[in-house]
Amino acid sequence: MKIKVKTIVNCLFMIPAISSSAMANEHPIAGTTPWQRPAGAPTIEWVKHNRAWYEKALTGVNTPYPRSLYFLDSQGSWYTPFTRPGMIGPYDLRRWHHR
């Protein structure tokens, strides 16, 4: 009896799918209710940025600071591209890469 290579390959691809569906019942799946915070999850109550953080965030911005940058006062600890160097060359308006 000849076994086709295609049949063997198909079976090999099915093994991970079968084992992952069996494991799904053992552990919770993250992201099934993204609108809901998990019960007992820690929360951040307040964030205080020091002077060094503000100096870095306002690199290349002249005083007086524009009102549009006051959002930094409400910026939490989450990622923001505004406080990190961006592109180089003529697009480096805040001169992050000229140090």
79-90, pLDDT tens digit by residue?
888 888 888 888
Token pair of 9 as six digits: 């390959």
60: left (phi over 0), alpha (psi -120 to 50) or beta: left
pLDDT digits (tens, 9 = 90+) for 50-59: 999 999 899 8
**CA end-to-end span of the chain:** 72
CA dist., res. 70 & res. 54, Å (int): 11
Q: What is the pLDDT along the chain (99 residues), one digit of tens a residue?
A: 566 666 665 666 666 655 555 555 666 666 778 888 877 888 888 888 999 999 989 988 888 999 999 999 888 888 888 888 888 888 888 888 876
Q: What is the pLDDT of residue 64?
A: 92
CA dist., res. 98 & res. 93, Å (int): 10
Residue keyed to tokens 């006051």 = 70
- pTM of the entire predicted model: 0.52
